[in-house]
């Protein structure tokens, strides 16, 4: 039963004091996981599971400009948690927080070094020779480039989650960097990275009234504990941008924004060019109708560029983040993504591949072997 | 709610305005001007700090960049070592897994 007007006022006071004092925290990234590989600031997490039913494993590549916990936002609102519960063997490649030592990282660093090694480590840990690769936002671009470059273990399925393809249609964020406006050097600081503050200002500019609207929404819903927890988690994430290495930012502007190379289907990578037409595995392209960061018209050209005969498009009635966290995610996107991967995965013969209960899990020796084989494979 | 009556048209018109060429041209000029002012301010401050033998932001950035260079060299060396390392070297390594609960 909904609380009365008086009860709501009392609840507002009870929740408002800790909220405005900054004492209220949201329990983000709670799904139990193990660190299985790391290189510099990149970390590969494997999520624990009682019951891994499907092979190959699913590796999710997160974006370079935001924190990866959006994919595991809250215990009851978690993309990776959902996939784990559905029986998938889930890995998350988290880029961490770039700092000056990462300033010279280029697209090649990620596409030809970090990601293939992380993929090899995931395959070694899961004793698989292929995997399903998913990428969120800019992580989707990296996943596409890895698939096109064929620079890692075999990719069984490719899932692009709100992945920009035609950068000329990105709107504000790309239009600010067309010739004659801002140059990469204008936002790269003296340590060679794009500060998180600059990225935050860019995202805030897209919705100028958002700060005011949010505060009014908070006042309206302050009495509702569940709403407030969700809001705090999401608000924490939206303002929690991470710095971006300057060298990769230069390439994004020059190759992807100004040349719009991805929309043309061919992207220069190191000494060669990679073509999206070389992607022949099944591809799922998921985008959102109300996405202001990656509008549908930026994401849809992908289907016509990949060489795969099995291409599925899923358009959701949500915003950029609603795809992985939120009501639309829970009702539509997560189940449909899981169904799509499941239909293109194997169910191991006999009983499902099981792992020990997390509390009893003591994989010291096995982990040691796994780690060794992962390290060998990653080389 | 009265707020919604005001908010919806204001939001939609402000979002359209943000996407306009006029706004983006103006913002890029303002951004460049702000950067220029910041550089001049830091230059002035570092001169002033120099008088008192205090480290300025430029000094901190220089040290930070030097450390970053050292770290990059270490990373390259480590990558080289891992490539050259004989298989037997692996037996000395300990497990690479680490648990985490958020």
CA distances from A326 to A71, A218, A231 (A): 11, 17, 10
Using CB atoms, pick whichever of B14, B35, B90 lies closest to residue A208: B14
Query: Which residues from B are below 8 Å from A368, CB to CB?
Result: 93-95
Angle between helices B21-51 and B57-84 (to 10 degrees): 100
A287 confidence band (pLDDT: 50, 70, 90): very high
The tens digit of pLDDT for each residue in A235-259 reads 888 888 899 999 999 999 999 999 9
- Tell me the nearest-neighbour CA distance from B47 into chain A, angstroms: 18
pLDDT above 70 for A291: yes
Chains A, B: CB pairs < 8 Å: 113
What is the C-alpha to C-alpha distance for residues A227 and A204, in angstroms, rounded to an integer?
22
Residues A184, A79, single domain; the answer is: yes
pLDDT above 80 for A376: no
Residues A226, A257, single domain; the answer is: no
Residue of chain B whose alpha carbon sits nearest to that of A213: B7
What is the C-alpha to C-alpha distance for residues A264 and A260, in angstroms, rounded to an integer?
7
What is the C-alpha to C-alpha distance for residues A228 and A248, in angstroms, rounded to an integer?
36
Tell me if chain A has a CB within 8 Å of the CB of B102. Answer: yes
B41 confidence band (pLDDT: 50, 70, 90): very high
Q: Would you call B90 and A372 a contact, using CB atoms and an 8 Å cutoff?
A: yes
What is the C-alpha to C-alpha distance for residues A324 and A272, in angstroms, rounded to an integer?
34
Handedness of CA A138, A144, A146, A152 (dihedral sign): positive
Whether the upstream peptide bond of residue A56 has omega within 30° of 0, thus cis, is yes
Which of B28, B46, B70 has the most A C-beta neighbours within 10 Å, making it the best mutation to test the interface with A? B28
The tens digit of pLDDT for each residue in A168-181 reads 998 888 899 998 89
Query: Which residues from B are below 8 Å from A292, CB to CB?
Result: 15
Which run of H or of E encompasses A156? strand A154-161
pLDDT above 70 for A369: no
End-to-end CA distance of chain A: 59
Tell me if chain A has a CB within 8 Å of the CB of B27. Answer: yes
Residues A255, A231, single domain; the answer is: no
Q: Would you call A45 and B100 a contact, using CB atoms and an 8 Å cutoff?
A: yes
Tell me if chain A has a CB within 8 Å of the CB of B67. Answer: yes
Provide the pLDDT for residue A209: 85
Q: Which two tokens stand for residue A174?
A: 């790309």
Q: Among A152, A71, A66, which residue's Cα sits nearest to residue A115?
A: A152
- Tell me the nearest-neighbour CA distance from A360 into chain B, angstroms: 13
Residues A168, A220, single domain; the answer is: no
B87 confidence band (pLDDT: 50, 70, 90): low
Tell me if chain A has a CB within 8 Å of the CB of B12. Answer: no
Residues A15, A87, single domain; the answer is: no
Residue of chain A whose alpha carbon sits nearest to that of B36: A186
Using CB atoms, pick whichever of A171, A205, A371 lies closest to residue B97: A371
Q: What is the CATH number for A44?
A: 3.40.50.1820
- Residue span of the structural domain in which A205 resides: 1-28+200-242
Taking only Cα atoms into account, the Rg of chain B, rounded to an integer number of angstroms, comes to: 26
What ipTM was estimated for this complex?
0.80
- Tell me the nearest-neighbour CA distance from B16 into chain A, angstroms: 9
Q: Mean pLDDT throughout A298-315?
A: 94
Query: Which residues from A are below 8 Å from B27, CB to CB?
Result: 176, 205
Query: Which residues from B are below 8 Å from A375, CB to CB?
Result: 82, 90, 93, 96
Residues A212, A350, single domain; the answer is: no
Handedness of CA A156, A68, B61, B45 (dihedral sign): positive
Task: Reduce the DSSP state of residue A49 to 3 states and report it.
Answer: coil
Tell me if chain A has a CB within 8 Å of the CB of B59. Answer: no
Cβ contacts of B70 within 8 Å, gap of 6 or more: none
Residues A237, A252, single domain; the answer is: no
Largest Cα span, chain A: 68
Residues A8, A89, single domain; the answer is: no
What is the C-alpha to C-alpha distance for residues A200 and A94, in angstroms, rounded to an integer?
19
Provide the pLDDT for residue B101: 56
Extended strands (E) in A40-147: 42-47, 51-52, 58-61, 90-94, 130-136
Residues A336, A235, single domain; the answer is: no
Query: Which residues from B are below 8 Å from A187, CB to CB?
Result: 31
Largest Cα span, chain B: 73
What is the C-alpha to C-alpha distance for residues B102 and B98, in angstroms, rounded to an integer?
12
Tell me if chain A has a CB within 8 Å of the CB of B80. Answer: no
Number of independent structural domains in chain A: 2
Residue of chain B whose alpha carbon sits nearest to that of A41: B75
Q: Mean pLDDT throughout B21-45?
A: 92
> Do residues A123 and A89 lie in contact, with contact meaning Cβ atoms separated by under 8 Å?
no
**Choice among A108-112, A116-120, A239-243, A250-254 with the minimum mean pLDDT:** A239-243
pLDDT above 90 for A163: yes
Residue A318 zone, left/alpha/beta (φ > 0; ψ -120 to 50; rest): beta
Task: Reduce the DSSP state of residue B12 to 3 states and report it.
Answer: helix
Residue of chain B whose alpha carbon sits nearest to that of A40: B75
Q: Among A198, A169, A164, A171, which residue's Cα sits nearest to residue A184?
A: A198
Which run of H or of E encompasses B86? none
Residues A277, A222, single domain; the answer is: no
pTM of the model: 0.86
Q: Would you call B99 and A32 a contact, using CB atoms and an 8 Å cutoff?
A: yes
Q: Which two tokens stand for residue A305?
A: 């560029």
Query: Which residues from A are below 8 Å from B72, CB to CB?
Result: 101, 104
- Tell me the nearest-neighbour CA distance from A104 into chain B, angstroms: 9
- Rounded to 5 degrees, φ, ψ at A53 are -95, -25
- Rounded to 5 degrees, φ, ψ at A284 are -115, 125
Percent of chain B with pLDDT over 70: 82
> Which position has the higher pLDDT, A259 or A324?
A259
Residues A328, A185, single domain; the answer is: yes
The tens digit of pLDDT for each residue in A38-95 reads 999 999 999 999 889 998 999 999 999 999 999 999 998 899 999 999 999 999 999 9
Q: Would you call B101 and A190 a contact, using CB atoms and an 8 Å cutoff?
A: no
Residues A222, A282, single domain; the answer is: no
> Do residues A185 and A94 lie in contact, with contact meaning Cβ atoms separated by under 8 Å?
no
What is the C-alpha to C-alpha distance for residues A179 and A40, in angstroms, rounded to an integer?
34
- Rounded to 5 degrees, φ, ψ at B100 are -150, 145
């Amino acid at each position: 039963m909904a609380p009365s007007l008086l009860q709501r006022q009392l609840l507002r006071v009870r929740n408002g004091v800790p909220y405005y004092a900054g004492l209220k925290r949201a329990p983000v990234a709670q799904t139990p996981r193990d660190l299985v590989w790391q290189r510099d600031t990149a970390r590969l997490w494997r999520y624990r599971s009682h019951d891994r039913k499907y092979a190959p494993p699913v590796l999710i590549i997160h974006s370079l400009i935001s924190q990866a916990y959006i994919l595991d936002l809250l215990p009851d609102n978690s993309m990776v948690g959902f996939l784990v519960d559905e029986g998938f063997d889930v890995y998350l490649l988290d880029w961490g927080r770039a700092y000056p030592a990462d300033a010279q990282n280029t697209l090649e660093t990620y596409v030809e070094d970090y990601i293939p090694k992380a993929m090899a480590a995931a395959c070694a840990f899961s004793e698989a020779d292929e995997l399903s690769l998913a990428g969120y936002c800019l992580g989707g671009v990296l996943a596409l480039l890895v698939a096109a470059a064929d620079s890692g273990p075999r990719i069984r399925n490719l899932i692009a989650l709100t992945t920009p393809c035609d950068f000329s249609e990105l709107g504000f964020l790309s239009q600010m960097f067309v010739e004659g406006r801002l140059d990469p050097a204008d936002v790269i600081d003296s340590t060679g990275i794009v500060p998180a503050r600059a990225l935050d200002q860019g995202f805030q500019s897209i919705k100028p009234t958002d700060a005011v609207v949010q505060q009014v929404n908070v006042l309206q819903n302050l009495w509702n504990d569940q709403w407030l927890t969700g809001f705090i988690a999401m608000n924490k994430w939206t303002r929690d941008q991470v710095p971006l290495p300057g060298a990769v930012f230069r390439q994004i502007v020059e190759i992807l924004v100004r040349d719009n190379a991805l929309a043309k289907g061919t992207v220069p990578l190191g000494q060669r060019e990679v073509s999206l037409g070389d992607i022949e595995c099944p591809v799922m392209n998921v985008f959102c109708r109300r996405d202001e960061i990656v509008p549908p018209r930026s994401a849809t050209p992908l289907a016509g560029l990949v060489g795969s005969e099995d291409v599925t498009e899923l358009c959701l009635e949500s915003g950029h983040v609603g795809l992985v966290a939120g009501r639309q995610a829970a009702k539509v996107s997560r189940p449909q993504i899981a169904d799509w991967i499941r239909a293109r995965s194997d169910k191991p013969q006999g009983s499902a591949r099981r792992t020990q209960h997390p509390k009893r899990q003591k994989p010291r020796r096995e982990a040691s072997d796994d780690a060794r084989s992962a390290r060998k494979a990653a080389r | 709610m009265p707020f919604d009556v005001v908010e919806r048209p204001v939001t939609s018109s402000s979002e359209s305005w943000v996407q306009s060429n006029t706004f983006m041209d103006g913002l890029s000029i303002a951004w460049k001007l702000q950067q220029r002012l910041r550089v001049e301010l830091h230059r002035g401050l570092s001169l002033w700090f120099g008088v008192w033998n205090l480290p300025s932001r430029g000094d901190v950035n220089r040290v930070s960049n030097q450390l970053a260079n050292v770290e990059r060299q270490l990373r390259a060396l480590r990558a080289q070592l891992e490539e050259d390392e004989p298989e037997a070297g692996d037996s000395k390594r300990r497990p690479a897994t680490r648990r985490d609960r958020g």
